[in-house]
Structure 1
């Protein structure tokens, strides 16, 4: 192939990525706007006017289980492709192990709305990512994309969903690339991922007028060795928090599947009952739903000292028993409220510690340190970037090979301190206690 042919192919490929990234971003931006607006409406409806709806959560669980058991499963090539695997199915779609379902996005949206309306503890980015994967899968089939390029387009669907859900298009671009495997960055995918993420973000905010929550760092400490030492110390604590959540959530899922023989309806019904009991014991619904009010409060004033633990349990039970939604916002809540609690002991500004906890806990739980760092830059206007950079990678490394999504593959271990073979998944590593 001569130089002219090489540049011609490069130009045609670039045009292709721009076209497909724009299509995916445009569709996902609109669907994410629907997700955000509907979630806000349903969440506020329950929180302000209809708190009694939480008592219907077990019935909502039955409905979610029925939907997934009857409409979320497809057998292809003697293999089960189950939409109930949620983000894990999206990851396996990029890895080429599973097939994404075109109806996965709509099913996930409906199940997320039910979870939010009835007071399950959940977030939103999971639904946005799965809709992104579903849209990418549809584009793949319409245009008959090659297998290799198909995986890149699914990454761009992930990027579009995440970038639009949080108003962070640069972080979204890297989310699609970094989420799939630990220790591997596929830079070839950066163009379609960046385009899809930016288009989705501008459609969500510009075309549909969606406004994202603002979390403000009021004061950043001065650069010093002591401050960095404190940041490293609390980042270690945040990494342990992410491990605790991931382990509890996975244990609840495995236990409930074993006890109810993978009957989604029975699992979610029982999970709903447990959440109702916990809500009655606590005497408030601060830990049901998204918890945005307390998340924002953690940046400005004291919150209950064990709020992070309550949210951890509520979310692990909700998602571990088969309800649907994202895990980023619950992780944000846990990290921010724990940072708020540590404020009295560490001697750092309360808003700074809340922000640090939010980002570091997400980095350790999702295993996406670059995405988390970029999210901090976009979310907090570049304040304290030196501290966030350290916090993201300290939490990532010391959280070991745990994570929100068992399908994540270890391309390379996080450190030579971990004796982990390349190619293993989080699920197989946790099963063998090799973390």
Structure 2
């Protein structure tokens, strides 16, 4: 028995040491690349703030992006879906050019005002670097799946400063209804090291704060930590968050399919998308829905940060951001979907807080994570993200919001390569 116990401990020790040796260089490299990306992204956004006329060059930027992928992209244009497919069935490989190509084209998108995010870029950087470094270790198919999954965790954890959410997101996003725990430790190492690397380079993430403090509720002489009336409002709002996630996913796929159907000359697709973005900005008279939506271009601009404040968003801010992002990504511009989802969710939460007479900062936070949960089918990861970003005081409401939105988002999802398994209240096909 002693020999069996010793053998088991040695096996665990070997497993930990082996994967640490493999994952640490992957996570450090991903963290460094994400640092460069975040620095360039911040520069491009603020450079456009100082030169608003760059928006009128968005059609030219779209043509440049189109031909960059046509000449050099090949399979890399499938982005996150390529990485997910490669994890499910290794063989085709993740091209090394994916990382620099998505980095450059995402920066171009934001420099000229396209409405996109950054998670897709970070995930693709993580997958590309993980595949390149993993190939040096001559891994088999099973280990290749693990190292690619860890690459996703490193990229996600690094770009948002949420290593635990990055860990669970990488495991949860692959197959709806199933988490593969054999990749848990490598993903945790990758998420932590990726985040630490970005921090070591001096990159700071945007802080968010919930000002509402729950006083609980008295129930027949007993003090409860949860307010049932607030919980009911959370459920109602979260159902709407789920419907918004459904609309977002359908809008992006719909714009892409409609563009391919109506416009036969492919390089004209991003040109048309850019013209729509410029026209909408001219009609609305403000640039609030361009680019990332985190930093304010001018005092009083609607941003994710302002959505946490009373009157920090317009009634239809969430809808305009949804339209802007669907047009941008659906017509071929590059970037992620998650930060726009944060914007949509937080501004929708701000609006619903007014309608339901609920705490604004709390409902902005609930929308922030819940719309993301519904659009990506990752309610557990988003619950953890809420705790990492906003603290644990409202953890129960975070979970209720994320899982409710997940159920009400139906069969929608922004990742077409995502597989399904298990049972749901509303089947996700």
Query: Does the pair score TM above 0.5?
Result: yes
Conserved 8 A contact 1:287-1:310: yes
CA distance in 2, matches of 1:261, 1:383: 53
Matched, 1:301 2:310: yes
Q: Does the alignment pair 1:142 with 2:136?
A: yes
C-alpha displacement of 1:301? 2.7
Equivalent of residue 247 in structure 1, options 250, 267, 277: 250
Q: Which residue of structure 2 lines up, in the alignment, with residue 78 of structure 1? A: none
Q: Conserved in 1, the CA contact under 8 Å of 2:34 and 2:158? A: yes
Match of 1:72, SS state, is helix
Tell me if 1:151 matches 2:145: yes
The residue number in structure 1 matching 2:233 is 230
1:190-209, aligned counterparts within 5 Å?
190-205=184-199, 207-209=200-202
| SS of residue in 2 equivalent to 1:338 | helix
The alignment status of 1:332 with 2:325, answered yes or no, reads no
Q: How does 1:212-361 map to 2 (within 5 A)?
A: 212-221=205-214, 222=216, 223-261=226-264, 263=266, 265-292=267-294, 293=296, 294-302=303-311, 303-361=313-371
**Shift of the alpha carbon at 1:282?**
1.1
Distance 1:138 1:262, change over 3 A: farther
Shift of 1:13: 2.4
Q: Tell me the equivalent position of 1:93.
A: 86
| d(CA) in 1 for partners of 2:227, 2:189 | 38
Q: CA deviation at 1:6?
A: 5.1
Aligned-pair CA distance for 1:8:
3.9
CA distance in 1, matches of 2:292, 2:386: 20
Shift of 1:9: 3.9
SS for the counterpart of 1:184 is: coil
How far 1:266 sits from its partner (Å)? Answer: 2.4
**Deviation of residue 180 (structure 1)?**
0.8
1:220 and 1:349 in contact (8 A); partners too: no
TM-score by length of 2: 0.92
Distance 1:258 1:145 in 2: 42
Distance (Å, rounded) in 2 between the aligned partners of 1:114 and 1:363: 28
| Partner-residue secondary structure (3-state), 1:69 | helix
User: Contact 1:241–1:361 at 8 Å: present in 2 too?
Assistant: yes
Q: Which residue of 2 aligns with 1:211?
A: 204
Deviation sequence 1:238-285 (CA, Å, 0-9, x none): 00000011101100111212334583x322122111111111111111
2:404 equivalent to 1:410: no
User: Deviations along 1:309-336, whole A, 9 cap, x unmatched?
Assistant: 0000000000011101111110000010
How far is the alpha carbon of 1:5 from its aligned partner?
5.3
Task: Give the whole-Å Cα distance in 1 for the aligned partners of 2:41 and 2:149.
Answer: 24
- 1:70 corresponds in structure 2 to 71
Give deviations 1:144-173, integer Å, cap 9, x for gaps: 111111011100000000001111111011
Q: Which runs of 5+ in 1 are unaligned?
A: 74-81, 421-428, 430-435
Aligned to 2:220: none
CA distance in 1, matches of 2:213, 2:23: 37
CA positional deviation for 1:383: 2.8
Deviation of the 1:32 alpha carbon: 0.8
Q: Does 1:41 align with 2:40?
A: no
Offset of residue 382 of structure 1:
1.5
* Cα distance in 1 between the residues matched to 2:147 and 2:256: 30
Which of 111, 121, 130 is 2:115 aligned to? 121
Residue from 407, 424, 427 that aligns with 1:397: 407
Q: Which moved more, 1:265-274 or 1:357-366?
A: 265-274
Q: Is the 8 A contact 1:182 1:414 kept in 2?
A: no
RMSD over equivalenced CA pairs, Å:
1.5
Using the size of structure 1 for normalisation, the TM-score is 0.91
What CA distance in whole angstroms lies between the structure 1 residues aligned with 2:276 and 2:139?
45
> Using the alignment, how far apart are the partners of 2:116 and 2:19 within structure 1?
33
Bigger drift between 219-228 and 176-185 goes to: 219-228
Partner of 1:76 in structure 2? none
Instruction: Provide the C-alpha distance between the structure 2 equivalents of 1:66 and 1:266, rounded to a whole number of angstroms.
Output: 11
C-alpha distance in 2 between matches for 1:377 and 1:275: 35
